[in-house]
Structure 1
């Protein structure tokens, strides 16, 4: 009985000891994130160098947007009273998509005439921001770096991952949202 009491007392005293945190078996550093940042910077530098060569070569006067892409007007409306699309407006447009080498990826016939409710439906970010710059009747050619186009995943069909694009867009009409 004495031995049993000593054993129980030892267990009770041993269980009162505070738990020590275990040290991790492996330690992680920020190396993956650092490598990812370095890869993305290198990708951006390559894309911007390619885009600059195209802009120098084709002779058009490009405008740098605040949203990280470049564009020029094929057809520009000289009517100042025409409005650009606002949130909720329904716009009708058509466009094509080319690679930076000029190879047609999707034609206007492939993509068909599009209706889009401004900022209420999904559209790749470069085109969404580009449409906001346009007036009805204008045709604009945009050059989108990959992060403003389909990004890392592409479109899973014809547009590869991290592929910059050239889009020629015609804004046909704007139907203003009546609540604006």
Structure 2
């Protein structure tokens, strides 16, 4: 008989614990439930406007004769080769590249480094893929990729911080057609 009371007591305790756990789970709410979507959208718009203003200040202070691509990249052509060969998806572009932040801090290399990029098939900055399609071997260009086309929200977790535009100085060396 005593054993029966012990078993009934254990079952009652377990049942009570499971009820409290269910109540606690009901109290825990979705953390995203309180985020106001419109406020986030507005905050991102404000940040994008501030970033665009910073890029415009950068190119204006340096007196760039610049163009703005439809994707938001500010660029200027330093030299045109007269060659009409352009890279397409799958082609490999060989180019020298210097990179810096808007504050003038050089990143990755002190001297121009030869890079290769298989267009639209390799992991690299989205804006770089898009812009390299516009130029031919022998062309030199400077461009400012907005953060969303460079290293994004998080940066590269190394030399490029969160939401930082990146300035590229590029010379297209050759294009290997595929």
If the length of structure 1 is used for normalisation, what is the TM-score? 0.76
Deviation at 1:36, TM superposition (A): 1.9
The runs of at least 4 consecutive aligned structure 1 residues that moved more than 6 Å come to: none
Deviation at 1:104, TM superposition (A): 1.0
Deviation at 1:35, TM superposition (A): 2.7
1:161 match: 162
1:138 match: 139
Deviation at 1:83, TM superposition (A): 1.0
Secondary structure of 1:113's counterpart equals strand
Q: Which runs of 5+ in 2 are unaligned?
A: 1-25
If the length of structure 2 is used for normalisation, what is the TM-score? 0.76
Secondary structure of 2:36's counterpart equals helix
1:39 match: 43
Corresponding position: 1:70 with 2:71: no
- Alpha-carbon separation, structure 2, partners of 1:92 and 1:47: 30
- Alpha-carbon separation, structure 2, partners of 1:72 and 1:51: 13
Deviation at 1:62, TM superposition (A): 0.6
Q: Which runs of 5+ in 1 are unaligned?
A: 1-23
2:175 match: 174
Deviation at 1:103, TM superposition (A): 1.8
- Alpha-carbon separation, structure 1, partners of 2:162 and 2:66: 25
Aligned pairs, number: 151
> Contact 2:93 / 2:119 at 8 angstroms: preserved in 1?
yes
